[in-house]
Amino acid sequence: MPNITETLKQAAEVLQASGIQEPRREANSLLAFALQKDKTYLIARSEHKLSTEEEKRFQEFLQRRAKREPFQYITGKQEFYGLDFTITKDVLIPRPETELIVENAIKLLPKNGKFCEVGIGSGCISTAILHEVKTASAIGLDISENALKIALKNTQQHKVFKRLQLKISNVFEVLKSEKFDLIVSNPPYVPSAEIETLPAEVRCFEPITALTDGKDGLSIIKKIINDAPKFLKPRGFLLIEIGFNQADKVKSFFSSNIWQKIEVLPDLQGIPRIVKAKIR
Ligand SMILES: C[S@@+](CC[C@H](N)C(=O)[O-])C[C@H]1O[C@@H](n2cnc3c(N)ncnc32)[C@H](O)[C@@H]1O
């Protein structure tokens, strides 16, 4: 059996041939995961020969990654807002820029505040907010039943499930007369025509309903903005994540004068990322 040094060298070559950037770093991460050790172990025990079982497990992960499956679907985990989330192919992998919704939501929620999330997916946004704001409660909506199962698992893992109701729903369809202090959403906003341009990891593995509305990328955002006033308390807020170049169009959807204070907040790279709006 090859030792750790030899295994890493071979794996980096396989990953490089598959077009993966930083193949050496990824080989390290995959091997550390396969051996259930941290990366310092790989350096300290570089002469360690893999057992047949370790080699088999590692080669399986390596082949999956070489086919461009995201590392997070192989490990089944992703960190978001300092918490570990269970991730499967039924949910979008949480992105760091989405933490901006959490940061703003925490500031906007009043004591005992209630919020609604449209398109809860893995539950990362709602779970992180509920984990930080202990008096808050929420309703999480998603069109995907499988995504809701993962959201439930994550809310249980982080012990916030008693303050979150999960419902299957096309945008707000399932709601009746509920009123919220805040509505948050990271909706599917990639125009369908742009799906082909995305990296293989995203295009071939992440759920298509989490990425795009199947149209111009703006239809669900527009529906949320149009319907949100029915479900917001007076002076309630809406926070929506948007895609590259969508800010001007999205601002134009706030045509009703019930909306005030419409702001576009940039992410850490200066890209307009979140639209924040308040109703009268
Ligand atoms: C971009 S993902 C966001 C997931 C998670 N909130 C996050 O930030 O990582 C969008 C989510 O919206 C859901 N979705 C798509 N269309 C929907 C609709 N019409 N109504 C409700 N949810 C929808 C998808 O199933 C997916 O879970």
**pLDDT for res 261:** 87
User: Is ligand 1 within 6 A of the CB of residue 125?
Assistant: yes
Which atom of ligand 1 lies at the shortest distance from residue 147's CA?
A: 27
Q: Tell me the DSSP string of 164-195.
A: EEEEE-STTTT--S--EEEEEE----S-GGGG
Contact 258, 229 (CB under 8 A): yes
Specify the pLDDT at position 7.
97
Residue 74 has pLDDT above 90, yes or no: yes
Report all structural domains of the chain as residue ranges with CATH numbers, in order of start: 4-67 (1.10.8.10), 78-279 (3.40.50.150)
pTM of the model as a whole: 0.97
The Cα 12–Cα 193 span in angstroms is: 33
**If we measure between CA atoms, which residue out of 149, 142, 27 comes closest to residue 88?**
149
pLDDT tops 90 at residue 159: yes
Going by C-alpha positions, the residue among 26, 11, 4 that lies closest to residue 59 is: 11
Q: Say if CB 181 and CB 233 are below 8 A apart.
A: yes
- What is the rounded CA–CA span in Å between residue 76 and residue 174? 30
Looking at residue 249, what is its pLDDT?
Answer: 97
| Per-residue model confidence as pLDDT tens digits over 106-123 | 999 999 999 999 999 999
Testing ligand 1's pocket by substitution, the residue of 117, 143, 155 carrying the most ligand atoms inside 8 A of its CB is 143
Residue 220 in this model has a pLDDT that exceeds 90:
yes
Mean per-residue pLDDT over the chain, rounded: 97
Find out whether 217 and 243 touch, Cβ atoms under 8 Å: yes
Please tell me if the CB atom of residue 143 comes closer than 6 angstroms to any atom of ligand 1. Answer: yes
For 77, half-sphere exposure in the C-beta direction (CA atoms, 13 angstrom radius) is 9
Q: Is the CB of 144 under 6 A from ligand 1?
A: yes
Whether pLDDT at 1 is above 90: no
Mean pLDDT over 210-218 rounds to 98
**Segment 32-50 mean pLDDT:** 94
Count of helix runs (H) and strand runs (E) in the chain: 12, 9
Length in residues, the chain: 280
Closest Cα to atom 14, ligand 1: which residue? Answer: 119
Nearest CA to ligand 1 atom 4: 121
Which pLDDT score is estimated for 38?
A: 92
Residue 153 predicted with pLDDT over 90:
yes
Strand partners, 183: 116, 238
pLDDT of residue 256: 86
Q: What is the mean pLDDT of residues 152-174?
A: 98
24: pLDDT confidence band, cut at 50, 70 and 90?
A: very high
Give the pLDDT score at 151. 98
Q: Which residues contact 95 (CB under 8 A, 6 or more apart)?
A: none
Contact 224 CB / ligand 1 (< 6 Å)? no
How many Å from the N-terminal Cα to the C-terminal Cα in the chain? 69
Q: What is the pLDDT of residue 188?
A: 98
